[in-house]
Amino acid sequence: MPRLPVIKTHKLFIGGAFPRTESGRSRELKDGRGRTIAHLCRASRKDLRQAVEVAHAAQPGWERATPYLRGQVLHRLAEMLEGRRDELSDSLRATSTRSAASARDEVIASIDRLISMAGWTDKLAMVIGGQNPVAGPYYNFTTPEPVGVIVVIDASNAPLLGLVSMIAPAIAAGNAVIAIPSESHPLAALLLAESVPTSDLPAGVFNLLTGEHAELLPQVATHRDISGVLAAVKEPAAAGLRAGAAENLKRVRIVDPGSDFESDEPWSGASAFDGLVDFKTIWHPAAT
């Protein structure tokens, strides 16, 4: 008798654990030939609320961690992905018709992006902050600070590289992240989440919800405890995020989902941190 394959059900990633969605819903993920290759949890409004609470609890401690430590943890995550290069490449090809070389290049670029952001952690304050010239016996300093809890939404043409390019600077700057990956190509993002517990990243700093964008995005836009949104989405989803966020004044940065995420700018330079940091200006009396 032929053996039936055991099809994996991917769960959510919240607070360092892998819970099932409280809604009990799931959907099939199919390959290019229409065959079911996995089942995905459909996250609900309650799952999002739980992820926000966990991220809020974890973010202050991550912000207080030294830049050196944050860089080491991101480098460790890159090491974990390096060991899963073939598996990540296969996951990108499983739901598309792309070549093995194209998938491999995206995985390598994603790992390199993590390494790049790891190097930014102890340089960010000096590059985008600094001492300001003022008239008077004062020192005036401007320093960047993390925004808080950031939701990253990816519907880009690069389901791994696009997501990594958006979450890495957010985490490097000291934010906590809730990622909502591509609906049609989520497998690589789920493998990324599976690598996080062995990367030394504190529980709750990175969380991942799979689900229907049309259902989750309105809740993200109007949730008052979400500090910012970084989304690679098309219209009208982008307009919906802006409209919902206008009522609670959260930061929303919309990225063209067709962007060249392999480009060094804006994804490897200081502009990668746009919308992910606030600036504090400090006045201090000068010695006379």
Structurally, at CATH architecture level, domain 9-285 sits in 3-Layer(aba) Sandwich (3.40)
For residue 239, give the amino acid letter: A
| Total-model pTM | 0.95
Please tell me the distance from the alpha carbon of residue 59 to that of residue 236, in angstroms, as a whole number.
Answer: 31
DSSP label at 114? H
pLDDT tens-place string over residues 20-51 = 999 999 999 998 888 899 999 999 999 999 99
- In this structure, are residues 150 and 178 in contact, taking their beta carbons and an 8 Å threshold? yes
Q: With bands split at pLDDT 50, 70 and 90, how would you rate the model's confidence at 65? A: very high
Q: Would you say residue 288 has pLDDT above 80?
A: no
For residue 111, give the amino acid letter: I
| Residue extents of the structural domains in the chain | 9-285
pLDDT tens-place string over residues 67-126 = 999 999 999 999 999 999 999 999 999 999 999 999 999 999 999 999 999 999 999 999
Question: Residues near 18 by Cβ (< 8 Å), separated by ≥ 6?
Answer: 11, 12
Strands 36-41 and 9-10: parallel
Tally Cβ neighbours within 10 Å of residue 132: 13
- State whether residue 9 is helix, strand or coil: strand
User: What is the reported pLDDT for 3?
Assistant: 85
